A and B are shown apart, each in its own frame.
Chain A
Amino acid sequence: MAAWSRFVDTFFKWDVIERYFPAIAKGMVVTIEVAVAVVITGILLGLALAVLRSFRVRVVNALIVIFVDVFRALPPLVLILLVFFGLPNLGVNLPSFLVLWLVLALVLAAFAEEIFWAGILSIPKGQWEAARSTGLSSLGTLSYVILPQAIRLTVPPLTNRTIAITKNTALGTVIGVAEILNQATTAQAFSGNATPLMMGAIAYLILFIPVVALGRFLETRFAWRRI
């Protein structure tokens, strides 16, 4: 019994929960704001790059591949520190919220481009030829024939990748973005109690379990049919 009450006192202390609930809630709002901004801009940029790549201009494609590879190979935290501490020395001062958004959106765009491009490649060449022969322009072919089929294939991998990258919003705490983890560690330091960390973990669960479950559903719903 003593062990149990000690456990509750350490991780679920009621007056600590009451005191820091508003802070964690504020952190949730910030996390949601960054996440939504990252998902929208990252996926749109990735799609735009994949479409650009399908025109097969050699120089452009080489640049896209380099961008994609670099942003897939570098840890996001390295990029965040580089942008956050590097740019001010050049006279560019970006607020930390913007740095986090920018870096994560670029990382997501890189992964999304690769996924969309794989989707576009998976559509047989005959589809292009057939669509063009009906008189559609190449842009028309892409937007009415190829992309609708390609995007369907990209839904499961894109969802999983998007979830993984969105969770990286927690990295914002390192540069002082007041998101959930930042609020939780600050509160933990002030209260000298681990309850705020538990609150932070629960806040993430509330935000992400529905999304992870959705990803699981989409995976079965849009599953590749193996031939």
Chain B
Amino acid sequence: MEAIIQQFFNLGIMAEAFPLILAGLKQTIIICLIVIPLGLIGGLAVAMIALSRWRTARWAVIAWIDFFRSIPPLVLLIFVYAGLPFAGLRLSPMAAVAVAFLLNTSSYYGEVYRAGIESVGLGQWDAARSTGLRGYQALAYVVLPQAVRNVLPDLVSNTVEVVKLTSIASVVALPELLYSADMARSVTFNSSPIVLAAVIYLALLWPVVRLISRLERRIAT
């Protein structure tokens, strides 16, 4: 018991690592603020093409989505960060994370939007268009609000996955939450900093995970 407390819940070490970990948290939040809006917008674009009337575009974008859903995000990130420099394209860790995450998350968000838009009946489109709304207006004012409402649990849960995914930025030495915690761990030879990082992730995401469970129940009944 004593050993467990020493090794995982050492308050002295946690206090010492706290400023470093706080700086890491700031980086994690910055990544999220860049990556989540990019993914949401990219995903909407992907979904619009996937639902277009032009068959070739539809097939191309579905292949694109499945391609990026088949590659682990870490592989994509390392490819962008360590592979592209060989071709003369050197990106900073933050830019590499943004590019890799955009490719990965927009595919997932795209599938969620697509399911949402498909769940709104075609009659809604026709009715909206017949009132004189243009196509993009029908989308923005009539279809999307209903679509988003129908797939809200999936959108939120995908966003939780994106926040969790930011932890892999540590592999390309972007000093985010997990990277800072692991630095502190390797200096102190003690796991308490990682426990502290885990506690911060839990504090950020547990309420959202609870919310998802409740949203899912509400839709199910």
Residues of A within 8 A of B87 (CB): 6-7, 10-11, 194
Query: Which of A6, A10, A82, A194 interacts with B198 by CB under 8 Å?
Result: A82
A-B contact pairs, 12 of them (CB 8 A): A69-B209, A74-B198, A78-B194, A78-B197, A82-B191, A86-B191, A86-B194, A89-B7, A90-B4, A180-B75, A194-B82, A204-B70
CB of A154 closer than 8 Å to a CB of B? no
Q: Would A170 and B74 count as touching, CB distance under 8 A?
A: yes
Chain A 50-77 interface mask (CB, 8 Å, partner B; 1/0): 0000000000000000000110111111
Pairwise interchain contact B161-A73, C-beta atoms closer than 8 A: no
Please state if B160 and A122 are interface contacts (CB–CB under 8 Å). Answer: no
CB interface residues, B 189-212, toward A, < 8 Å = 189-191, 194-195, 197-198, 201-202, 205-206, 208-210
**Given the known A-B contacts A69-B206, A69-B209, A204-B70, are A86 and B8 also in contact in the complex, defined by CB atoms under 8 Å?**
yes
Residues A74 and B201 in contact in the complex (CB < 8 Å), given A86-B7, A86-B8, A185-B82: yes
How many A-B contacts if CB must be within 8 Å? 139
**Given A170-B72, A204-B75, also A75-B191 (CB < 8 A):** no
Residues of A within 8 A of B122 (CB): none
The smallest C-beta distance from A224 to any residue of chain B, in angstroms, reads 10
In the complex, besides A164-B161, A194-B86, 9 extra interface pairs with C-beta distance below 8 angstroms are: A70-B202, A73-B164, A78-B201, A118-B217, A181-B75, A185-B78, A197-B83, A198-B83, A201-B75
A78 touches B167 (CB 8 A): yes
Partner of A209, one of B70, B75, B165, B210: B70
The reply to whether the CB of B141 lies closer than 8 angstroms to some CB of chain A is no
Which one of A7, A69, A75 contacts B164 once the chains associate, using CB atoms below 8 Å?
A: A75
A73 touches B78 (CB 8 A): no
**Which DSSP category, helix, strand, loop or mixed, fits chain B's interface?**
helix
What residues on A are CB-neighbors of B202 within 8 Å? 70, 73-74
B220 contact set on A, CB distance < 8 A: 118, 121-122
B119 at the interface (CB under 8 A from A): yes
B30 lies within 8 A of chain A by Cβ: no
Instruction: Tell yes or no: A167 within 8 A of B by CB.
Output: yes
CB pair B119 A173 closer than 8 Å:
no
A23 interface contact, C-beta 8 A: no
Smallest CB gap from B161: residue in A: A164
Q: Which residues of B contact A6 (CB under 8 A)?
A: 87
Binary A-proximity of B61-79 (CB < 8 A = 1, otherwise 0): 0000011011111111011
Cβ A174 vs Cβ B167 within 8 A: no
The 9 closest A-B pairs by CB, nearest first: A208-B70, A170-B72, A86-B191, A75-B167, A194-B86, A73-B205, A75-B164, A167-B72, A194-B83
Q: Complex Cα distance A70/B199, Å?
A: 10
Pick the contact of B185: A10, A85, A163 (CB < 8 A): A85
Contacting B at CB under 8 A, from A173-207, are: 173-174, 180-181, 184-185, 188, 193-194, 197-198, 200-201, 204-205, 207
> Are B75 and A188 interface neighbours, CB within 8 A?
no
State which residues 130-179 of B face A: CB under 8 Å. 160-161, 164-168, 170-171, 178
Which chain A residues border B182 with CB–CB below 8 Å?
81
A216 within 8 A of B: yes
When chains A and B are docked, how far (Å) is the Cα of A86 from the Cα of B3?
11
